[in-house]
Amino acid sequence: MPELKDIKEYPLHNLRREYSFVPHLKCIGFSDEHRTPRIQPILDNEITFRLGTSKREQVLQVDGKVYRAAAPCFLVKRAGQRVETLEIQLTSGIYFHYSQEEFDKLRAGGLTDSMVLCGLPDAGGLRALYRRLRELAQHCEEPGVVDQIDLLGLEMLQEALLLRQFGSENYVPEEESRIRCAVNWVNLHFMDEMSTEQLARRFHFSLRTFLRRWAATGLPTPAKYIFDLRMQEARRLLLGTDLPVYRIARMLHYRDSAWFCAVFRKYFDQTPLQLRHTR
């Protein structure tokens, strides 16, 4: 049997997190098509998603019990288990490793011990998350990126659990899932400079399709949505900090503070200083 190959793994356990809202990943890995080893002693808690299109069943024996599922599916391996592949085949996917402490947080959140090899509906939303994680993993050492990876890893597991519980009738089409990811990304990064065209490319849309799908959410246009978020952030900074107006203007990408003040006054019907004096 050929040795494992085409696997790319990114250690994350030593990277600095900005926040601790979600379980921290120990590492993330991606496997293109390769042969899985016949017997695997499991050293780390691992969650693997197999997102191939083959409908051939995968057959595993975990601690003596046989499990079967066709892709797409997810597999939960727990430290200390012995996993034997009964039908060896080519497979591809993504996997996450968690320390015991972080894995226990997933168990507290609803990941039960009965979940081992679990089949899923054809879930394009999971594939969109996979693509985003693969892109982010290449930049995992940049500030804040590992936090996004932790969050998207948890989102991937949560979506899989919901699909397993409620079935494919509640399946969200891939394009809709990508739009949701785009909205979530904007909510976190609205202070970054970005154009609508850049946002569309980031989530693998043509500009026309992106605008059409975005409009279907009922939100204002992307430009207006970002503008509204920035205006609310400007208001928060004026009321909650002592930053000078020109600094806030620069943070919101206004090179001219006078222009920022004019825009702010039109939006809130008062100038930045008038608002600050209401504290």
Query: What domains does the chain contain, in order, with CATH numbers?
Result: 7-172 (2.60.120), 224-276 (1.10.10.60)
pTM: 0.60
Query: Residue 236: what pLDDT?
Result: 92
* Angle CA 116–119–121, to nearest 5: 150
Choose the weakest-confidence range: 82-96, 109-123, 160-174: 160-174
Ramachandran sector of residue 63 (left: φ over 0; alpha: ψ -120 to 50; beta: rest): left
The pLDDT of residue 171 is above 60 = no
- Count of CB atoms situated within 10 Å of the CB of 109: 13
Q: Which residues pair with 62 in a beta bridge?
A: 65, 83
The token duo for 226 is 């970002």
Mean pLDDT of the chain: 86
Tell me the pLDDT tens digit for each residue of 112-146: 998 999 888 766 578 888 888 999 999 999 988 99
Tell me what the mean pLDDT of segment 231-238 comes to. Answer: 94
Coil, strand or helix: which one is 206? Answer: coil
Query: Residue 110: what pLDDT?
Result: 87
pLDDT above 70 covers a percentage of the chain that reads 88
Please choose, from the candidates 219, 190, 217, 186, the residue with its C-alpha nearest in 3D space to the C-alpha of residue 203: 186
Task: Write the burial class of residue 259 (CB in 10 Å: 0-12 exposed, 13-18 middle, 19+ buried).
Answer: exposed
CA–CA distance, 266 with 128 (Å, rounded to integer): 39
Tell me the pLDDT tens digit for each residue of 39-55: 778 889 999 998 876 66
Of residues 125 and 160, which shows the higher confidence score? 160
Query: Residue 119: what pLDDT?
Result: 86
Distance of CA 182 to the CA centre of its chain: 10
Query: Would you say the C-alpha torsion 1, 11, 103, 122 has a positive or negative sign?
Result: negative
The pLDDT of residue 72 is above 90 = no
Type of residue numbered 184: N
pLDDT band per the 50, 70, 90 thresholds, residue 202: confident
Burial 55-83 (b: 16+ CB within 10 A, else e): eeebbbebeeeebebebbbbbbbbeebeb
Query: Residue 173: what pLDDT?
Result: 59
Query: Residue 2: what pLDDT?
Result: 36
Query: Residue 176: what pLDDT?
Result: 75
Strand runs labelled E in the chain:
7-11, 27-35, 39-41, 45-50, 57-62, 65-70, 73-77, 82-85, 90-98, 117-119
CA–CA distance, 47 with 150 (Å, rounded to integer): 13
Of residues 85 and 275, which shows the higher confidence score? 275
Contacts with 60 (C-beta within 8 Å, 6 or more apart), sequence order? 66, 67, 68, 75, 83, 84, 85, 86, 116, 117
Coil, strand or helix: which one is 8? Answer: strand
Tell me what the mean pLDDT of segment 218-227 comes to. Answer: 93
